[in-house]
Each structure stands twice: as structure tokens, then as C-alpha cells.
Structure 1
Amino acid sequence: MKTCRRKWFARWLAACIAVVLGMGMCAGLPVSAAYENTYTNTGNQRADIVAVAKTQIGYHEGSLEGTTNSSNNYTKYNVWNGKIEGGYRYAWCHAFVSWCANQAGIGTDIVPKTAGTSTGRSFFVNQGTYRQSAANGGSYVPQAGDIIYYGSGSSPSHVGIVSDCDGSTVYTIEGNYSNKVGTRAINLSNSYIIGYGVPNYKGVNPNPPKWAKVTLDHYAWMAGETLTFNLSSEGGVAYTVGIDTENADGGRTRIDTHDTRDTSYSRSFNNPGKYSCYITTYNEYGLADSERIYFEVYDKKPENVSVSLDHYGWMLNENMTFTCSSVHGYAYTIGIDDANGNRIDTYDTTGNTYTRSFSTPGKYSCYITTYNGYGYADSERIYFEVYDKKPENVSVSLDHYGWMLNENMTFTCSSVHGYAYTIGIDDANGNRIDTYDTTGNTYTRSFSTPGKYSCYITTYNGYGYADSERIYFEVYDKKPENVSVSLDHYGWMLNENMTFTCSSVHGYAYTIGIDDANGNRIDTYDTTGNTYTRSFSTPGKYSCYITTYNGYGYADSERIYFEVYDGKPTNAKVELDKDSYYVGEELVFRCSSEHGYVYTIGIDSEDGGRTRIDTYDTKESSYTRSFSKPGKYSCYITTYNGYGLADSERIYFTILPSPGDLNFDNTLTTADAVLLQRYLLQERTLTQSQWQTADLNADGTVNGFDLALLRQKLVG
């Protein structure tokens, strides 16, 4: 009887709390007459969110009405979003985006309700609908209704709604833009843009895709080599990749069909032969097919190598095209020799043609070498002749390429058969600042304005003209700055060549100093170049810094530290900050060792036996990731260098479900509250894992207090 009363009391308490909280959530916000949303939704969510945002342009933080000129972050959008740390005065750019989505009838499964830019960006990343900006290596062109994220790398600091894009400039409506709702026009390549959330809107895109295209970097591949098919389209949301063998009888056999929403697909082929590929892209309104591309997979070195010309007698400076062919050749090295057998040109290409002209009459010959991962093969040599002559081998040079203000510099001109020179000097914007004609081979002048400049020359005789390559130089008016020295990595084997790379702004030359662990100088090297290569025959710890200089003064770099070792790695170790984490929480695996050059991190699931779920190779000393599935896991690392390998001890950790996430979808929503309320009303049962995550206050009991805590989380 007492047990029954307790159950009745728990139900009564849960119902009361639900009613009270429900009344709070249903309380309406004051309506701002000045910036009321007067737009009527059409059902085209992509257009509706933009139209709603336009009704808010000019709204200023400081009051619910949006007419107060203040800078206190108080807005109706934050009031709608809910309190954070007990108040409404927080950065509101993403709250504005979420409010507009809500007003447009867009659910939080499409655009999240949040005030956090990182939370918003992560939502689209996890959905697979995040696109990198041009500055981050992406090629996506945004469209109206996309969510634009600003910041640095993968760290957002501001957000807005795309209202339009003309292919080069994106136009936006943004909350918290100079303390108000404002508009912006920004170039697509601007580094401030880090990416775009592309929501899965409903009622959008009434047209099928217009075109589809698939490409490869090249079209001959070794057996077992990974090929990446690059996929693109206009209007497509996903792709089906079809790969066929091209049979000897002219038919085709399908060997692979792959569906993806990504813009690339990578795989290898173990069987040599000829293949083709095409893609179909689609959206809810239709399909579009690409053209078919053809490629070959081989398992032996090249054969049947040849190089040819259209004919074998050419006028001076007439362009001739060398055509290369082979079976299984991946790339070509084209060698051209004069009549005495002296090499005059070597050209590497992954194409099959090379076009050039000759400015010296005479007899020449050419042959090619082609190669792939299995070996090399040469062609037969062909012979041809070039007639007549005009200037050739034209060049202009300076002693060095960084000069002080008003310092005299001498341009030296050279050529074969050149009679006179026209020297052209341009500023960094390509504006001509000096043109000088001379029958000599030098020209001396100084510059009174600092900046970057370039120069090229034209030489001529009675038969024709020829230009030099353009050279670039800088005139400066201050001592060097931004000085640094670097290595590719900081652990090296005995007698392994390492290259120190020097850089600076306005530095003319460098002095490189290398010290041992006791601070004793073991090497000093002066250079006007920017690299220095050497090896070490004694193991130990070393450091290096550089001094650069010009006529205005000196500047030192920071000191870098590195180690030379003569044995395999030891003391390999991997660590975590704690033993348990929640789903979605980032874990940082910290790797360490003595003499380890790189690390292979292995992560296994320990639920029901050991199963590998992740293998990651890195030269860094840490690896960050999260887990979407609760359970028990373990990790160990292998580090290695040229002398051998070393494994760490295995560490163990647990991934717990997020508190309150009863349906394990990694997001707290009203669906979780409904599950808990139905359990309290004895309308359903919970699994052990669900029961544990439902106990929000960790008191060992699931009751109305846990439901109240969950509802508080949902309202912010």
C-alpha cells in the first residue's frame, strides 16, 4: 500500500512540474511593433528564412522593441532563446539565426536553436551538410538561405544568413553586426569566411540538377594505387558513382556502384585493365548524368614508347609540338640535345605534349623517358633541324634581390645575337615606372620609394625580338623583421640530412648558428640563400637560431630545438586527462616517447571483445576526437624512427551517454522529455542505459525531479 502511494505521489509531482514548466514555456514574448515579423511563410523554407531576416534589418540591441541605441546585448532574440548563465545579455548572432528559422517554420532538426556559433557549426558538420569556404580549400558557392560562419580555421566567432550570391560576392543579413541586424557584402575568397551550413530545407529546389561531372587527376594508375574520383554538379545533393570494365569485345561490365553525398570517392583496383566511370547526381526533382571518363590500371613497366613531330624541318622560333605516347606510361621526361650531344632542355610532364620553339639554328635530336611505379622505358631518338636565327638566351639579373632605399643597383642584360635592349621596370601593381633603351649591357639606378618591383628586357636585331623572364626585387627602408628558422621535424637520425629554412621580411643575408646541449657553438654558416643542409655524426640535443641583416640593422630569430638520435624509440606513452567521458565530448590523446619520430594511434572497442575502430598516423604529439557511441574503449600507440619501433602500454576509458539523452541521438530534445514523462506515467519502460542517463541528479532514482532538470536544460 505504501509503495502504491509513493508511485501515486511521484506521478502527481511529475504532472504538477510539467504543468508549471509548460506554462513558463508557453508565455509569449512582447511583440515589437517596429520590427514585427510581417512576412507570411510560403513553405519554401530557404526563401522564407531570408524573407523573415529582411523584416528585422535595422533592429538594434538594447530593448525588446529594437529601437534603443545601446550595446548591452539585450534583444528579443536572446529572450526567445532563453537565459544563459542567468541572463539574456550574451552575444546574439546565432540566436538571431535560430529565431529567424523558427519564425520561418523551420524545425530544430534543420537549423538548431542555439546562441553558440561552435554549437551551430558542429550541428551541420555532424549532419554532413557543412561546406568549407574557399579560404579553407572548399569550392562550394553558397545560395540564399545558407548559414555563413566566420572566424579562423574551424573556430567560428560570428554567423549570419546568406541572402544572395553572385558567384564572387556573398550578401548576408547578420545579427549583432555593429550591435544591430545589418547587411554585409563580402568576397567569397575572404579568409574571414570559414564555411557554410547548408540546411536540409523543405519545399526547396523546384528544378532538377543541371549538370554533373567526374574527373581524375590523371588517367593511368598502378594496380593497388588509390584513385580519387572528384564529383561536381549544379543542383545535385548526392551522387551515384558507376564504374565499369571496358571489355575487349566492346561491352562493359559493372564492377562498382557507390552512393555518396561527398564530393569525392576513393578506391583502388587490383586487376589491371581498362575502365570507365560516370556519375548520376540527383535531388528530389530529378537526375543528371555526367560524361563518361576512361582510365587504365596497369601492373607492369611502360612499353611501346615513342615521340614524334608533325615534320622535321622548322623555321626559327616556330612553335613545334612534341607528342609522346606509350602503353602504361604515367609521365614523361623529354630531353632535347644539340648537334654535339649537349643537353639544352629537359622537361617533365604528366601530359602527352610539349610545345616550344628554338631561337638558334642548327640540328637537334630528342628522345623521351616514361615511367610508372614498375619501371622506366626510353623511346627511339628523333632528329630535326631549325633554320635562321634571331636573339636568344635573353636574361636580366641583379646581384641580389633586396635593396636599401637610394642604393644603386645594376641591371645586367645578356643574350645571344641581341643587338640592343629595352629595359622595363614596373611597380607591384604592374604600372610602368621606367623604360630605358641601351646598346650596352648594364643599367644602373636607385629607388627613392620603398616597395616591390619587377623587371624584364626585350632584345632585338634585324631578324626579330625576344623577351627575358621577369625578375622580382624589393626596395626597403627599415631593418629586417619577422625572422624565423625552421626544420621539417625535430627528431633526426644520425647522419641524416636536415635542411634549415630561413625566412624574414627585408633580410639580405643570414648567419646560421648551431649549438650543442651545453650551449657550445658547433657550426656557424653564412649565406645569401634561404636554406642550409647538413647532417650530424654525434647524437644529442641541439639548438639553432639565425641572424639576418641589411643596411638598416640586424634581427634575430627565436631559437629552435632538435635532437639527433642513434637508437630506436623508448618510453612510448599515451595519456588521457580522465577515465570517462560523455558522448560527443572531445578526448585529447597525448603521445610521448624518447626518439619517436611519428605515432600510430590505435583505438579499440572493448564491448563484447576487442574491435579496432580507429587508426590514426601523425607527427604531432596529440590526437583529438569524440565518440558518438557509449561503451568501453582502449588505446595504445606505436612510435618509430629509422632504427625501430616501440609500443606504449594500453589505456582504458569509458564513454558515457549524455545526461538526459534517453534516445541516444546525441542531442537533448523534447523527444527525450517525452520518453521520461511516459516512463514516469508507466506508459513505457527504460533500458538500463536509458535509466542511467535519465537519473540527471544522480540520486539513484528516476522521478519527477529528473524530469524537471531535463526540462530546464531544454529551455536553456
Structure 2
Amino acid sequence: PSRKTTYDWSGLNVTDLGKCNSTNVKKIEQGDAICRSAHHIVLVSRVNDNGTYEITEQTPPEMKRTIYSAAQLVSEYSKYNIYRYNARDYVTPPSRKSEIPAPTTSVLSLWGNDGVYAVGNTVTFRMSSDTATGYTLNIFRGSDLISTTEHTGTMCYYKPSKVGDYSAYIVAHNDNGQLQSETVYFRVYDGVPSEITISTSRKLYGTGDNVDLNFTAQNSIYYTVNVYDSNGQLCATKSTDANQYLVNVDVAGEYYCTVTAHNDVGSATSERFYFTVANVLTTANISGDINRDGIFDKDDMCRIRDYIHRRTAFTEEEYSLADLTGDGIVNVLDLAEAKHILH
């Protein structure tokens, strides 16, 4: 027999599934009703694959549709009973499905931002599919489902009220099927950027070298980098949303830089980070500097030792740098010279 949910109680075989609790909610099927009285019925119009329920509340003269998780449904309707109506003398004519095929594409993306938002800012989602007539948007904070909404357009909006790491996906659907998108991720912060760090890959640079300034910060959208000489004169500046700035310095001396991190709440500036530029064309000609970090130290001595013991190989340039005695051969004499220099 076909199932029908209606205000007309006559001619229906009713099965009472019990209170809407955490056990009975698992029994709910599409077409069931959650009733307080004959004049207040909510209909289960859809059971989604992701474990959520589409509820249509019929409280004349209004009709309201809401998406609930199982826990939310129990919390809202724990005092109600779940009923299943089996028609005896009523046959529902078979529904005609749309000729549109089930979705084969389902795409969710963040629009107009790089996945970092301040509390209270609006997150804009863009949704697309080849044949979907609607979308179910699910938003999580951490592992908790905090929002499920239905949409028919291709853009929707969400305004987070709490900080945290968020994720979201859509289910694109039509009468013939549905398809879940990949998950997108975004972070919500409250306050100006913090924990700004600056580093370089080497300890010493030569005139003409590119100094690679690397920086990070919590809750930053973009950066302003300023480079100064020892007299405090601004030598270079750049605004960037990347985490690196390559600056070429052609005058030897002591330098420092500051990084200002920005977001929608405000900005914060780092402490000074100092680096040195030596009066050489390139640090590659520092004798013994095999790893090219700008100085000859214990790491380079260990490379010479490993080469002598055949644990590593040298390129032609590295071989030349390791020849500390200048006799054209890298051997124990060069290792002894390295120890003498360092000690």
C-alpha cells in the first residue's frame, strides 16, 4: 500500500513508532509524521544521505521547511510521537520523475577571499552543478555540524559568530539523484594578526645576492615588508599576500626588516629582523662553505669528513670549495685544516 500523510485520519492505518528520541529517530522514513495533535503535524519530507532530515511544518496558514540533524530533531520534538500512516483505500498515483539526469558535477567554492575571515564577516559560497535543481549546504565547525540549509540559487552566505576551523560541502540534487561536492575549508579569527616570525635561508649574503625574507603570522591576509639600512633609511618595501619577499641588496652593510601583517580587524608589526650583506660578489667563493649558507662551520667540516669516508659525493664546485689546502685533492689534510680553522 502507498503511504500518505494528511490531516484526514479516516481510512488510515496508523503505526505509532513512539516518542521522537535518540533511538526512534533512526527509524524515521520519508513520509512519516511527528505529531503533537491532529492540528499540529510536521512531515518528514526527505531523509538525506548525510543523516539529516528535511522537515515541513504544517501549522496553518503557514508552511515552513527546515533541515535538522538527528540530534537537533530530537531536541526540538522530543515530546512528540512519530507516526507512520498506511493508506488502505487510498492509492497515490505514481509520480513522474523529471527527465533531467542525476547530477554528475557538484562544486562548492569560497568567493572573494583566501579562506580567512573575521568573526562577523560574511562568507560567500558559490555552488555549481550540471543538472542540479537545488543544493543542500552543510557547514561544520571542527567536527560538529552547525548549519544545514537548502538553496536553489548558485550563491549563498554565512556569517560565523565564533572563531575556529570550519569546513563545508554541498549536496547537489534533483528528482533523479544527488552528488556531494568536495569539502572546502576556512578559518574564522577574532583580533589582529599575531605570532609574526621572520627567517632567512642563510646567515650571510653577498652584494648582488637575493636576500630571501620568509615570514608567517597567525590570522594574516596580507603583509607589508620594509627593509632598512643601518642608518634606518628605507631601502625596499613591498605589499604581498605571499610568505616570501626576495630583495636584492648591492651595498655591503648591516640591514634589518620589519613585517606588518594585516587582516580585516587591524594590523600588527614584527620586531626588527637583522641580516648582513658582505662586500663580495657571491657567497659561493667563501672557502669551505660547501652548503652555501654564507659561513664555514661544523656542517661544512662534516661534509668533508663524509666525502673522505665515501659517504657522500661532491659536485665539481663543492670539490673546489672543500680543497682547503689548495693542492687540488680533498683528503685528510683538508679535514685537518678544517678542524684547525674551527678550533
- 1:446 and 1:489 map into 2 onto residues whose CA distance is 44
* Structure 2 gap ranges (5+): 1-100, 326-336
Q: Is residue 572–residue 594 contact of structure 1 (8 Å, CA) maintained in 2?
A: no
- 2:178 and 2:104 map into 1 onto residues whose CA distance is 6
Q: Deviations over 1:176-220 (max 9, x none)?
A: xxxxxxxxxxxxxxxxxxxxxxxxxxxxxxxxxxxxxxxxxxxxx
Q: 1:601: which partner in 2?
A: 301
* Structure 1 gap ranges (5+): 1-387, 575-590, 606-611, 618-639, 654-716
Q: 1:411: which partner in 2?
A: 125
Structure 1 position 427 matched with structure 2 position 126? no
Deviation at 1:425, TM superposition (A): 0.4
Q: 1:209: which partner in 2?
A: none
Any idea what SS the aligned residue of 2:232 has?
coil
- 1:483 and 1:402 map into 2 onto residues whose CA distance is 16
Any idea what SS the aligned residue of 2:160 has?
coil
Aligned pair in 2 of structure 1 residues 448, 465: CA closer, same or farther (>3 Å)?
same
Deviation at 1:439, TM superposition (A): 0.8
- 1:615 and 1:439 map into 2 onto residues whose CA distance is 65
Q: Is residue 570–residue 594 contact of structure 1 (8 Å, CA) maintained in 2?
A: no
Structure 1 position 540 matched with structure 2 position 252? yes
Q: 1:472 aligns with which of 158, 180, 185?
A: 185
Any idea what SS the aligned residue of 2:201 has?
coil
Any idea what SS the aligned residue of 2:301 has?
strand
- 1:512 and 1:560 map into 2 onto residues whose CA distance is 11
State the identity as a percent.
23
Q: 1:483: which partner in 2?
A: 196
Q: Structure 2 counterpart of 1:600, which letter?
A: D
- 1:604 and 1:397 map into 2 onto residues whose CA distance is 52
Q: Is residue 286–residue 294 contact of structure 2 (8 Å, CA) maintained in 1?
A: no
Q: Deviations over 1:429-485 (max 9, x none)?
A: x11000111111222231222222111222234554333322222222222211112
Aligned pair in 2 of structure 1 residues 417, 524: CA closer, same or farther (>3 Å)?
farther
Aligned pair in 2 of structure 1 residues 652, 409: CA closer, same or farther (>3 Å)?
closer
Aligned pair in 2 of structure 1 residues 487, 408: CA closer, same or farther (>3 Å)?
same
Q: 2:281: which partner in 1?
A: 566
CA RMSD, Structure 1 to Structure 2 (Å): 4.3
Q: 1:175: which partner in 2?
A: none
Any idea what SS the aligned residue of 1:534 has?
strand
Q: Structure 2 counterpart of 1:404, which letter?
A: A
Aligned pair in 2 of structure 1 residues 420, 614: CA closer, same or farther (>3 Å)?
same
Q: Deviations over 1:516-551 (max 9, x none)?
A: 344322322223x34234352625354322111334
Q: 1:514 aligns with which of 213, 222, 227?
A: 227
Q: Deviations over 1:96-142 (max 9, x none)?
A: xxxxxxxxxxxxxxxxxxxxxxxxxxxxxxxxxxxxxxxxxxxxxxx
| Number of equivalenced pairs | 219
- 1:594 and 1:439 map into 2 onto residues whose CA distance is 58
Q: Structure 1 counterpart of 2:147, which letter?
A: D
- 2:104 and 2:110 map into 1 onto residues whose CA distance is 17
Q: Deviations over 1:364-423 (max 9, x none)?
A: xxxxxxxxxxxxxxxxxxxxxxxx883426132142322222222222223444432211
Q: 2:31: which partner in 1?
A: none
Q: Is residue 420–residue 461 contact of structure 1 (8 Å, CA) maintained in 2?
A: yes
Larger RCO, structure (CA 8 Å, separation 6 or more): 2
Deviation at 1:555, TM superposition (A): 1.8
Aligned pair in 2 of structure 1 residues 644, 447: CA closer, same or farther (>3 Å)?
same
- 1:455 and 1:504 map into 2 onto residues whose CA distance is 24
Q: 1:401: which partner in 2?
A: 115
- 1:573 and 1:441 map into 2 onto residues whose CA distance is 62
- 2:103 and 2:205 map into 1 onto residues whose CA distance is 52
Q: Is residue 224–residue 239 contact of structure 2 (8 Å, CA) maintained in 1?
A: yes
Q: 2:103: which partner in 1?
A: 390
Q: Structure 2 counterpart of 1:479, which letter?
A: V
Any idea what SS the aligned residue of 1:601 has?
helix
Q: 2:238 aligns with which of 498, 522, 525?
A: 525
So what's the TM-score if we normalise by structure 1?
0.26
Q: 1:454 aligns with which of 160, 164, 167?
A: 167
Aligned pair in 2 of structure 1 residues 455, 596: CA closer, same or farther (>3 Å)?
same
Q: Is residue 286–residue 296 contact of structure 2 (8 Å, CA) maintained in 1?
A: no
Aligned pair in 2 of structure 1 residues 533, 506: CA closer, same or farther (>3 Å)?
closer
Q: 1:440 aligns with which of 153, 159, 172?
A: 153
- 2:131 and 2:303 map into 1 onto residues whose CA distance is 69
Any idea what SS the aligned residue of 1:512 has?
strand
Q: Structure 1 counterpart of 2:324, which letter?
A: D
After TM superposition, list the pairs within 5 Å mapping 1:211-610 onto structure 2.
390-392=103-105, 394-398=107-111, 399-428=113-142, 430-462=143-175, 464-492=177-205, 499-527=212-240, 529-536=241-248, 538=250, 540-541=252-253, 542-563=255-276, 565-568=280-283, 595-596=294-295, 599-601=299-301
